[in-house]
């Protein structure tokens, strides 16, 4: 009887522990946010927002990821609109350079982010 | 002993099964609906993103992109041989255009009348004198050139008869940029509704450079949530407001996308056809919510130029058309039927 009780408690404990580990792992996978960079519709790569880095895009554009935000820091085209565009972060959004057909698109990893389907601008 | 072993095994299975189940679902969306298909293209000097739910591949999106290319060939100002190019190079002679172009011009003239000339597609000669590209030192147009160009800005110079267009002032020129995106979005939506069903299309979003048009509903039947960008926000996802809607379009005209600063003054790209200068209305943006994206497109520019009081008065006369005005101070003004969060 006593042995059985111990086994039941140990089982419950083990179950809780495994559940906690599984949920933690899931949570970690979910909150990694990244930006996808495409040039003329072709994917250049996906870059983690958690890692500070500078990415050269083709010959003309340079994207910087710092403190969880990605922005276009330089562009060699006359049209400097992309450099003026606000940064994108884990909450989503995109930066577009029309002349070079570059799109930096943030994909939200966190499920807590205020999700909208599109942004009118 | 044997029974004891079995029970331990059973216990372990009971413990491990939910954990394994949890892992298999890990990282996927809890919804049983498949992920949407999305693709981005570049047409008419803007970025086009189409996102569709319920379809198996992006063939419908590619069809939309080829429609975009067709419209670009008709409506581009810079492409020789386009309808707009032909009109602008007609030297006052009548030009035969496609029914789409004629329709678009007809609607433009309607909005010019409705806004008492605030919306005017003959602004093109003035637009050409401004440089909002940010290349080199920003500068203002030469005032003499500007007033010369302004003399040719008048929507009443466009004579439209069926599909024949004549510019009564040969030095006038048109630019349909203020309405074409909305018109094309509506055509893309028509195409999707007509041809999407057999591909399983449930709904989707057409994003033409920030002009949003929703199609149908989400797979779970819920409405779409569309955000309005906060003017001059630090990050792209900073929203001034959100709108929950189905089968509606939301289009915003704002000063914050194309502008330059000179001697402490902000010069933005929404030019007033009366003065030739950026409209001085204390507004940062106007968003219009209505079923037709073309209405939204033309009215967002019209209302921006009219300013808060006159613009709001115009919106209140129109059925099923709502507006959100955001002032330079960041104050929000909603028309009577604009949804409150």
CATH number for the domain spanning A85: value is 2.60.320.10
DSSP structure class, residue B73: H
- The number of distinct structural domains making up chain B is 1
- Rounded mean pLDDT, B100-108: 97
User: Residue A60 falls within a domain, yes or no?
Assistant: yes
Q: Average pLDDT, whole number, for chain B?
A: 90
Q: Residue B210: pLDDT above 80?
A: yes
The rounded distance, in Å, linking the Cα atoms of A115 and A90 is 11
User: Residue B29 falls within a domain, yes or no?
Assistant: no
Residue A80 sits in the same domain as residue A101 = yes
Q: Residue B138: pLDDT above 90?
A: no
Residue A37 sits in the same domain as residue A81 = yes
The rounded distance, in Å, linking the Cα atoms of B282 and B308 is 8
- Rounded mean pLDDT, B115-138: 88
**pTM over the 0.90 mark:** no
- The number of distinct structural domains making up chain A is 2
User: Residue A5 falls within a domain, yes or no?
Assistant: yes
User: Residue B221 falls within a domain, yes or no?
Assistant: yes
- Report how far apart, in Å, the C-alpha atoms of B79 and of each of B95, B104, B210, B331 are: 16, 18, 23, 41
Could you say which residues of chain A have pLDDT below 50? Answer: 112
The CATH number of whichever domain residue B83 belongs to comes to: 3.10.520.10
User: Residue B241 falls within a domain, yes or no?
Assistant: yes
Residue A61 sits in the same domain as residue A76 = yes
- Contact assessment for residue A85 and residue A73, using Cβ atoms and an 8 Å cutoff: no
Closest partner residue to A91 among B22, B207, B237, by Cβ? B237
The rounded distance, in Å, linking the Cα atoms of B90 and B85 is 8
Residue A73 sits in the same domain as residue A25 = no
- Rounded mean pLDDT, B55-60: 93
Q: Residue B4: pLDDT above 70?
A: no
> Does ipTM surpass 0.90 in this model?
no
User: Residue B27 falls within a domain, yes or no?
Assistant: no
Question: What pLDDT sits at residue B287?
Answer: 98
Residue A14 sits in the same domain as residue A27 = yes
Identify the residue with better confidence: B218 or B15.
Answer: B218
pLDDT tens, position by position, B112-125:
999 999 999 999 99
By the CB < 8 Å criterion, does A1 face chain B? no
pLDDT tens, position by position, B215-232:
998 888 899 999 999 999
Question: What pLDDT sits at residue B139?
Answer: 87
Closest partner residue to A116 among B16, B226, B252, by Cβ? B226
Domain limits for position A1: 1-31
Closest partner residue to B205 among A41, A80, A118, by Cβ? A118
Residues 7 to 26 of A: which have CB under 8 A from any B CB? 7, 11, 14-15, 18-19, 22-23, 25-26
Angstroms from B168 CA to nearest CA on chain A: 34
Identify the residue with better confidence: B265 or B138.
Answer: B265
Question: What pLDDT sits at residue A26?
Answer: 65
Question: What pLDDT sits at residue B27?
Answer: 44
The mean-pLDDT minimum among A19-28, B119-128, B158-167, B182-191 falls in A19-28
Residue A75 sits in the same domain as residue A21 = no
């Amino acid at each position: 009887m006593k042995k059985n009780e111990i086994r039941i408690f140990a089982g419950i404990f083990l179950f809780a522990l495994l559940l906690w580990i599984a949920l933690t792992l899931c949570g970690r996978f979910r909150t990694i946010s990244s930006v996808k960079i495409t040039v003329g519709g072709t994917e250049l790569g996906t870059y983690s927002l958690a890692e500070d880095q500078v990415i050269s895009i083709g010959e003309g554009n340079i994207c910087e990821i710092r403190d969880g935000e990605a922005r276009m820091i330089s562009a060699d085209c006359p049209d400097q609109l992309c450099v003026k565009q606000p940064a994108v972060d884990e909450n989503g959004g995109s930066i577009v350079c029309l002349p070079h057909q570059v799109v930096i698109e943030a994909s939200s990893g966190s499920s807590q982010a205020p999700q909208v389907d599109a942004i009118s601008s | 002993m044997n029974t004891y072993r079995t029970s331990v095994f059973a216990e372990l299975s009971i413990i491990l099964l939910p954990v394994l189940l949890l892992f298999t679902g890990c990282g996927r969306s809890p919804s049983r609906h498949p992920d949407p298909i999305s693709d981005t293209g570049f047409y008419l000097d803007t970025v086009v993103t189409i996102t569709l739910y319920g379809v198996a591949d992006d063939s419908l999106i590619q069809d939309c992109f080829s429609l975009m290319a067709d419209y670009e060939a008709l409506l581009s100002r810079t492409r020789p041989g386009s309808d707009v190019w032909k009109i602008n190079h007609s030297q006052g002679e009548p030009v035969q255009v496609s029914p789409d172009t004629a329709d678009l011009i007809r609607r433009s003239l309607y909005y010019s009348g409705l806004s008492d000339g605030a919306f005017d597609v003959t602004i093109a000669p003035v637009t050409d004198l401004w440089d909002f590209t940010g290349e080199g030192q920003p500068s203002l147009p030469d005032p003499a050139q500007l007033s010369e160009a302004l003399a040719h800005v008048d929507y009443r110079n466009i004579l439209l008869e069926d599909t024949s267009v004549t510019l009564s002032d040969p030095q006038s020129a048109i630019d349909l940029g203020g309405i074409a995106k909305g018109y094309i979005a509506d055509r893309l939506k028509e195409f999707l509704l007509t041809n999407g069903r057999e591909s399983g299309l449930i709904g989707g979003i057409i994003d033409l450079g920030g002009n949003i048009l929703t199609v149908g509903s989400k797979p779970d039947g819920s409405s779409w949530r569309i955000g309005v960008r906060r003017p001059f926000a630090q990050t792209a996802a900073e929203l001034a407001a959100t709108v929950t809607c189905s089968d509606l379009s939301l289009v915003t005209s704002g000063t914050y996308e194309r502008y330059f600063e000179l001697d402490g003054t902000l010069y933005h790209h929404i030019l007033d056809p009366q003065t030739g200068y950026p409209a001085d209305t204390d507004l940062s943006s106007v968003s219009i919510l209505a079923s037709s994206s073309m209405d939204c497109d033309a009215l967002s520019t019209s209302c921006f130029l009219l300013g808060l009081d006159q613009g709001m008065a115009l919106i209140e006369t129109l059925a099923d058309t709502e507006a959100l005005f955001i002032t330079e101070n960041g104050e929000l003004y909603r028309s009577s039927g604009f949804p409150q969060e």
